[in-house]
Every structure is written in structure tokens, then in C-alpha cells.
Structure 1
């Protein structure tokens, strides 16, 4: 093989190493956030550990004077093994042992140190093939940086939607094995110990390939301790992990491991969120729903024949697809997606509200906010003064908002910080709460501009909510009242995330 061909394969290997390295960081960071919450902390720790271990590996490479080819190939195989199994191992450790944090550190240090070791080795191998060191270093580092960009784009746009977290890990591990095989083949006439290394390539490729083919069963094995009931659906979208479980007549939806509803009592939540504000709108024609891709809020809105148009904004097409087509959800939402005057938009709720407000978009008579809890920073903007300000601008004359705001019992500071943030944007707010057995006490906010709206005399047909019961929802016992002074949440100071995580952590 010519030197130019060898150079090309070394450069290709550098690109593959970079693609794999960045994706391993993203896999470990995403798994850690999914399992342990607090995305800023988890990604900071993950990236910090990876970067420091790169430095350790780079330092160790200075001691490698002989058999650089063999050491590079062996490093790639070990990275393929550890990186390829990273997601499965972390899920399994979290669900079956108390060694998740220790396992995460060990896996990061091994993968990171070996990546840090092989990049200098590849540059030195290139130098051995081509004498112009300046050109080879520049070109090889260019492949490294370009590979990192490609990996950063491939993870959210292709790998995660196609393969999920665990499958992505297996596939990327196979890319490391491919890099090892390319170098083995390119230098087959000069490398020692080829039989053992080829055996390693074959064995690890077979292991990862078999794992990929059985990824569904491995996901069940890793996640079985996360949920009490039988898993009937698992789906990884670009935005979240969707899991549905079933036990007898109880269907439950989990997003990123957090319970969203139980079919046994979800009507309490959705009736409170929907009817308390809806019956206070005199002319209910235009409705905006933010979140609610399962269709359960839509089911309640179907009880108001005066509605002419509903705009539902949900970021994740995977969620609304389930709401439209997944039989247990279609049964629960009474086929609401097909029977209502509905427009479905797959957009970020913050961006939608900001764009509509800036354009002077049409005012809504009713806005219902059913968004995920602010358990990490990317969600904090949906509980900020900026977001609530945009929604206030979208309320028409006599318009009313209903918002889910978390538990005033389990996350007292978080709930009352939301109330304070709403008040900060000149909205009148009436807090109310309901007991949902699968959740506990859950809190909402009724928000409006100007004069307090009067409720209609009657409610539509409901399973739980009645006029006398509704009156009691606005009464807070002492243990649900504000227990601490709280700050409002802004885009630059997302205090809601700290309140939410610290409050819930105190119960674990």
C-alpha cells in the first residue's frame, strides 16, 4: 500500500476517533441527566472528567516509544468495548446497584484516557509515514475537529432517533472497532501480533453486533427496576425517553423517567387544569394548549361546543403521534385529535410564544400550560418572567390562563416561586391545588388580567370536579402555604431549577 493510502486511512481513523469521542461524552451526559437530573451539573462533571482524562492519556502517550501501531489498535478495541457498553452499564448500575456514580467515573476515565493516548499516537504514526510534520499535525488535527463536529450533529439528528441511547452506544463502539480494523489492514505487513489483534476485532465486533441486535431485550433488562409495572412501549425521540407501562387497568406514561399520568386518576389532574379556567371565560372560542401531546387536555376541551379552534403546541412529534395512534392513549383521550377543530404545531413553546407576541398574534380566550416540570435548565425558560410575559400578551380581552405549576407539598418553594413569577408580569393569580393519588398534592395557577372573572353556573360532565369541590381547591391548608421567601425566575437567573431539584431531593 502506498504512503498516501496509509495517510488517508490514518486521517480517516482520526476522524472516527473524534466522532466517537464526542458522542461518548453526549451519551454519558445524557444518560446521567436522564437518571440523576440537573443537566448542568451532569454535563459539567462529564465534560470535565473527559477533558482531564484526555490530558492524562496524552501525557501517558509520551512514554510509548515502541509498537505504536499495536498500542493504537489495542486502545481502539478497549474504547470500543467500554464506550459501546457505556449506556447499558450505566443504566444497569443505576437500576440494580449503588455503584452508578463510581461506574460512571471509571468508564469516563478509561474511555477518555485511551482517546487522549491515541490522538498523539496517530500524529506520530502520520509523521512516520510522511516527513512533513507541520503539514501532518495540521491536517490530522483538522480531521479531529471536523470529526467532533460531525459527531455532535450525528448524535441528536440521526443516532439518537434511530437507535436510542443504548443502541447509539453500541453503534459508536463498532465505529471504534472499524478504526482499529482500518489501521490493522493498512499496516498488515509491518505490525506484530496481528492474529491476536484481529481476534480482538472479531470478538468485540460480534459482541457489540449481538448486543445491537438484542438491544430491546437489553433495554428491558437495564430498565426493569425503574418501573413497577410491565413496560408496553419504549421510545427514544430526539427530545425525550418515552415509556408506557401497564398493570391491569392502569396505564402510566413516563417521560425521561418522570411519571406524567396514571389512567386511574389522571382525570382529576386534567379536569382541574382545564375546567377551572375554562368555565371563567365568557366567550370561549380560541384556545392555546402548550404541551399536552397525550391528548387528555383535548378530551376535556371537547366538552365546550363553543370552541372554534384549538392550537396545540408540543415540541415532540413522537408524543403527539402516540396521542393520535397509540390505542391506550386514543382510548383515554377519546380520539380527541380527530374530532376537534385542532391545529398541531411541533415547536418549542417559548419560541412559539415569543414569535406570536412579537407579531401581535391573534389573542386567545383560554391558554392552558401543561409543560414538563423544571427539573433541568433547558426547561427553566418555560417558567420565566419572559415566557409568562409573552403569554400575557397573547391573552385576549377577558382571557384566562390555567397552568400546572408542580406540587406545593413536595416542591413548596418551586410552586410558590412560579406564583410569584406570574405576578411579576402584572398578572392576577389565584393558586389552587388538587389531590391526585398517583402524584400527591398538585398545584395550579389561574391567571388573568384585570378584573377577576366569574365562573359559569354549571360545569360540563366530569368524573371528579363539581362546583362545591372547585371552591375548595382554592383553600390552602397551612402545610401547603408558602414556607420560605422565594425569588422570581428570569432567563439569566433560573432559580426555579434549584428550588425544584432541592425540594424534591429532600424527600428522597
Structure 2
């Protein structure tokens, strides 16, 4: 193979090269932001704590971009085109594999943070090299002020496009791993386009085309087969067989199966096990329902699986149940999947049930109708987007939607594993409602789990007398429950010595103390 000497770019860069290079700036800006979002999102998916991981990833990425920009000064002007194309090929190869690298690190118990740090460093440094190289190339045809204006304009517009298409298009329709392969292919395509346009200026062009062909074919095949690859790694993440998996616009839904035990996971977090879910849903639902003389209208925030609605439907006086769940994929799963329909007694398809796919905060804030019972069955407050649904401001809005003699209950994480988080929710509710009772139940899949019952009217300060009242009401109902009995009910209000109340700050929108408590406490067990 003959290798022609590289031509001096200063003398030979054609005028039509500038539009090509500016389009390259636009596209590499999109790719750079997408890599940043991919690494951040995967870290949140595996480890939670969105603020921490987005902040760390953005900070490290920008720092390594600065390092890459510094290294670019050692690149000679005569080899700018070759170096730029090599950078694109390296970036496409490493960035395209970022999804499978991070999945592998987490699934095979390799130090995840070390892998994420090295990956961010490599990608960030390569992205940092790109813009200086292109700026120097375009400067050969334009004054510096015009070059900087054009390069930065295209770069910032590309960043905007990436930040819009990632949450609205790529993540919901392709998922994380397939998006990574696609972005890698974009970098490879940028390199290939520049090889073709500047083929007369490049030495060893056959080697460049071979690199493009190999990586392009491999990643195209990987993109096509990524559902199988993703399913393989998801199976590695769960102990049991993955029975169902779907990446929605908001979250990752997985159902696993082992014999008769089917489990629902959302973003890797267990939501329930079919073996003992009733130990969670019966205390969650029946205590607030029993607290209201005649509960006719019930609001469920979350609970898109239909299991809480199943328990509410035991009350014949109920005329309407509104289920507010942000993710239509979750409620559709609850309405259509045979397993969930059987487990929930087809509750979400009951004529009394109305499903609203909307953010719970917005629904509470914008609505005007009142409910006798409000059941807050939301995920644990592991980031600020969920933490806002446990704030004093949110509870004041909830109170406005509650009937004068109404009751609200919130699942409140574990008083044993996360005592400060549990009692923070309790004390935040106390800042709003005249009466709040804490109670807990042993759910084998979760351990000791906590709830908080708030009444919209004054009641006995001590829990014991009120618990006896609820016990008598439950006995009168004579429902065929599997866990909750009139004899057991009063014991739910008793806390062990190691789960007694601790003083915390209330959770507000401007401090999100609950998220901080939660992350510190659960970190010990993750």
C-alpha cells in the first residue's frame, strides 16, 4: 500500500472545507453532550442520587475537556486534519461502548466509580481536543474573531439540540445502551465524512477507511442487537429470570420471576414481591380508609400497579378512585399484563377507577376537587424530583385537596434502615396536619417498613387509643384480609427501641433535607 505524504493544510485547505467543518462542530457538540448525559443517567440508574452523579459527571467532563484542550496545543498545524479524524474514530469507539462498559462494571462488581471516572476522562479529553483542532483549521480561512464566533455558535446550538433530544426522543425510544451505540456511530460517521471530503489531503487513507469500516460494522450490528445485549446485562443485575422488561420515557420497568414469586423493579429498585405484597398494601390502604367514616372519593398518588386500588375497592361505599401516575407505561402494564391483572384483581380496569398520567405535584397543585382519602404510594425520595413530593409545601397542597374529615397516608421508607428519613417525613407532616400517627409493618421483601397517617382534624395525641378505634372498625368490616387483623392493628403503632423517633429538620423545597438524609442512610446498604 502506497502512503502519500500529508499535504500542508495551510496551503491546500479548499474553501468548501469550512461548511463541512462547521457541520462537524455542530454534530460533535451533540455527541459530546449526549455522552455526558448517558454516563450521568446510567450512574443514576445503577446508584441513585441524581444530583450527586449529574454534578460529578458534568464537573469531571468539563475538567477533562479543559485537559484535552490543553493537549491540543501540542498538535502541529500540518497534521490537524489527520488528528481530528483520528479523534473522531477514537471517540466513536470508546463512547459507543460506554453503555456496555458501565453495565459490565456494575453487573460484574468491578469498581464502578473507577470505571466511570476513567471513561469520563477518556471521552472528556477527546471532546476537549476536537474544538481547538477545528478552530485552528477554520482559522486558516477566516480571521480569529470570525472563526471563534462561528465555531462557538455551532457548538452551543449543538449542545441545545442534544439536551432536547436525549430526554424526549433517544432515552424513551432507544434506551441507554442503544443510544450509546448510536452516538458512537455518529462520531464514526463524522470521521468518515471528513475522510471522504479531504481524501486528497490525508496520508494512509486506506487505514482510516478500514478503521471506519470495522468499528462501523461492529456498532451497527450492536445497535441492531442491543435489546439482546441489554437483556443479557439486565439478567445479570437480577437474581431471578427477567420475565418482562421495558424502558419507558421515565423509567426502566422490569418484572422478574422465580417459581411463584414475581417481582416488579423500577430503575432497579424493588417495588413489590407477589409473595408478600399484601403485607405492605393492607397497612398502607386500610388504616386511612378506616380513619374516615364514609370514604367515597379516594386519590392514589403513584400505585400504578393497581395493588393499592385492589384494597380500596373492598369498600363498597367508594364511588371513585383516581390513580395519578406519571408514567403511562406503568399504568398500561397494570391494565394489560396478565400477571398484574391477576394480582390486582383487575383493579385498574374497574369502572370506578380513573387513571391520570400526570406529575403528582402538578395534579395536586392545579386541581380543585376534594377527596376523603389520599394515599401517597410514591417511590422513596432518592432524588429531588421525588423529594419534592415529600415536602411541607406539597403536603399543604395535599391538605387543600382533602375533605374536612379526611385522612392521608404516605409510605415513608424504613424506620430501621433509614430512621432519619422516616421521622423527617413524620415531622414534615406534623408541620401541616393537626394529627399525625406513625406506624410500621414487617414486609419480608423489604424488612421493617414505615407509614405515616395524617388526619385533617384533631384527634387523641396518643396513638394507642386511636389504634383501638381503628381495630374495632376493622373487626366490623370482616374483610378477608391476609395480614392485617383487628388484633394485629394496634401493634403497628409500636416502635422498637432502635426505631424510636429522632429529631430532624422538616423537608422543604428550598432545602430537600429528606433527600440528604435518605442518601446518607441507604448508602450504607447499597
Deviations 1:378-418 (CA, angstroms, capped at 9, x unpaired): 21111110011111111102111121011111111110111
Query: Which residue number in structure 1 is paired with residue 79 of structure 2?
Result: 67
Matches within 5 A, 1:349-498: 349-356=360-367, 361-452=368-459, 454-455=469-470, 456=473, 457-482=476-501, 484-498=502-516
Query: Which residue number in structure 2 is paired with residue 104 of structure 1?
Result: 116
Structure 1 stretch displaced more, 298-307 or 155-164 = 298-307
Deviation at 1:4, TM superposition (A): 5.5
Which whole-Å CA distance do the structure 1 matches of 2:210 and 2:135 have between them?
26
Which whole-Å CA distance do the structure 2 matches of 1:250 and 1:13 have between them?
52
Q: TM-score normalized by structure 2?
A: 0.92
Deviation at 1:281, TM superposition (A): 1.4
Which whole-Å CA distance do the structure 1 matches of 2:251 and 2:278 have between them?
24
Which whole-Å CA distance do the structure 2 matches of 1:395 and 1:137 have between them?
58
Structure 1 stretch displaced more, 376-385 or 215-224 = 215-224
Deviations 1:263-310 (CA, angstroms, capped at 9, x unpaired): 000011111111111122112111110000111111111111211111
Which whole-Å CA distance do the structure 1 matches of 2:338 and 2:16 have between them?
55
Q: Cα RMSD between the aligned structures?
A: 1.6
What runs of 5+ residues in structure 2 fail to find an aligned partner? 1-11, 460-465
Matches within 5 A, 1:117-156: 117-128=129-140, 130-156=141-167
Q: Secondary structure at the match of 2:242?
A: strand
Displaced runs of 4+ in structure 1, greater than 3 A?
Answer: 1-5, 451-455
Q: For 2:324, which of 294, 309, 313 is the aligned residue?
A: 313
Query: Which residue number in structure 2 is paired with residue 248 of structure 1?
Result: 259
Which whole-Å CA distance do the structure 1 matches of 2:448 and 2:32 have between them?
44
Which whole-Å CA distance do the structure 1 matches of 2:183 and 2:279 have between them?
45
Deviation at 1:256, TM superposition (A): 1.2
Counterpart contact for 1:406–1:414, Cα < 8 Å: yes
Q: Secondary structure at the match of 1:155?
A: helix
Q: TM-score normalized by structure 1?
A: 0.96
Counterpart contact for 2:434–2:458, Cα < 8 Å: no
Query: Which residue number in structure 2 is paired with residue 211 of structure 1?
Result: 222
Structure 1 stretch displaced more, 447-456 or 209-218 = 447-456
Which whole-Å CA distance do the structure 2 matches of 1:301 and 1:69 have between them?
67
Q: Secondary structure at the match of 2:355?
A: strand
Deviation at 1:2, TM superposition (A): 10
Which whole-Å CA distance do the structure 2 matches of 1:494 and 1:142 have between them?
36
C-alpha change, 1:18 and 1:427, in structure 2 (3 Å) is farther
Structure 1 stretch displaced more, 77-86 or 302-311 = 302-311
Query: Which residue number in structure 1 is paired with residue 279 of structure 2?
Result: 268
Matches within 5 A, 1:81-96: 81-96=93-108
Deviation at 1:460, TM superposition (A): 2.6
Which whole-Å CA distance do the structure 2 matches of 1:70 and 1:151 have between them?
26
What runs of 5+ residues in structure 1 fail to find an aligned partner? none
Q: Secondary structure at the match of 1:462?
A: coil
Counterpart contact for 2:403–2:456, Cα < 8 Å: no
Q: Does 1:282 align with 2:293?
A: yes
**Matched pairs, number:** 502
